[in-house]
A and B are shown apart, each in its own frame.
Chain A
């Protein structure tokens, strides 16, 4: 039993961590909000020391009014959606396959999980220079070998290429979580259904998939959080060209390339809003799933 005394002691001991984490979250958020209402162009001589001009909602209006805003939201959603669909469909299939009895199961699992350990920048560089390069890339060699014209991946199918790279990175994560979900399924249920004459496909649809739904939900949630912030893959491969400018990348360009901190901060606030809209939608769908 926790007494009043021990409870307040626990609070005291937690306080440093809570204060640190709260500060860690609130200080950058407050700074972003602060800058988003200011005119802050360091190259034009604006500085914190001289005081910044208050411009109200100018930055917000300009950020959303720019012709690259809606395409960037679209690109973000395509990347997040595309990667989610690919990783979950392939992840379920891979998890089913890896759950079967076989020789060298541990070794295969390590092979499948390995892409997750590669840093995003490195994997983007590897894919860009060694696979998707139209002259030296392995994919180009493969296409020529089969007598086809090599595709200029990153300029002709840029968004698809990035979805592919990011999917390669996140497939292991989905597979790993879904595999543990399948392993927790009681085999007696499957055997009972088999006795009743259920074909494999129906077993999958009515027993395995509902059993995995929670794990799928978790994968969707965690991946969405990380995929909204995909940056390195775009920076390294296309640099935001060919329609791959996501919202994150647009903010980066506003702040660091055009040196307009106020405008970028307004973009950051929009990104927070977008992430929350997506999160609310997901939570609605997911909440139904998790309550069961």
Chain B
């Protein structure tokens, strides 16, 4: 029979697991955040976490440079 788990135990487990999970996920999160930054803000010192000017500029540049811009027309 499974035993009841105390709430305290569960809180400790949850916070530990989320801390580790976020630590492992962080490089990906940081990549996603940086993709929305302008060139200047991406290399800002100190690094800016959320309060930068969000921009889609980089995504446009990638699409322009890739040869796939003409995929549909070919």
Contacts and interface: CB of A to CB of B under 8 A. Distances in A.
Interface string A111-142: 11011001000010011001100001010010
Contacts of B45: 136, 141
Interface residues of A, number: 31
A22 interface: no
Given A104-B14, A104-B18, A141-B45, A114 B30 contact: no
Interface in B39-65: 43, 45-47
Interface string A134-172: 001010010001000000000000000000000010011
Contacts of A145: 46
B24 interface: yes
A111 B46 contact: no
A98 interface: yes
Q: How large is the interface on B (under 10, 10 to 19, 20 to 34, 35 or more residues)?
A: 20 to 34
A100 B14 CA distance: 9
A128 B2 CA distance: 47
B17 A101 contact: no
Interface string A231-256: 00000000000000000000000000
B10 A103 contact: yes
A172 B28 CA distance: 14
A130 B29 CA distance: 12
Contacts of A130: 27, 30-31, 34
Contacts of A103: 10, 14
A104 B20 CA distance: 13
B2 to A, nearest CB: 7
Given A127-B27, A130-B27, A168-B27, 9 more contacts: A97-B16, A97-B17, A101-B5, A102-B17, A103-B10, A104-B18, A105-B17, A112-B24, A115-B28
12 contacts: A101-B13, A103-B14, A105-B17, A111-B22, A111-B24, A112-B21, A112-B24, A114-B24, A123-B27, A130-B27, A130-B30, A171-B24
